[in-house]
Amino acid sequence: MPTPPSYFPPIDSLTYEQALAELEALVAALEAEQQTLSEALALYERGQLLAKHCAALLDQAELKIQQLTAAGPTDFTPPA
């Protein structure tokens, strides 16, 4: 994946699934060792930003779940 970093979509526009898929592709590209040192460094930097973005999205999801459950457990039993 030797695409120049300027061609990557902005990280903040990616969903969690998109960011994770790109991160997995970057890891595979780095493991394949098919790029120059400068390309590898650019991929590594992008990967670090993607990992941070994924972690932030997971934190947001956890906070939302905590807020939704703050009122106590919800009874999902259908009425009789």
Q: What is the pLDDT of residues 12-22, one digit of tens each?
A: 999 999 999 99
Q: What pLDDT does residue 78 have?
A: 82
Q: Is residue 78 part of a domain?
A: no
Q: How confident is the model at residue 77 (pLDDT cuts 50, 70, 90)?
A: confident
Distance CA 66, CA 55 (A): 16
How many independent structural domains does the chain possess?
1
Please report how many Cα atoms fall inside a 13 Å half-sphere around the Cα of residue 65, on the Cβ side: 6
List Cβ neighbours of 71 (8 Å cut-off, separation of 6 or more).
none
pLDDT at residue 67, rounded to an integer? 86
Domain membership flag for residue 27: yes
If you average pLDDT over residues 41-68, what whole number do you get? 94
Q: What is the CATH number of the domain that holds 39?
A: 1.10.287
> For 52-66, what is the mean pLDDT?
94
% of the chain surpassing 70 pLDDT: 86
CB-based contact 54:16 (threshold 8 Å): yes
- Structural domain range at position 38: 13-69
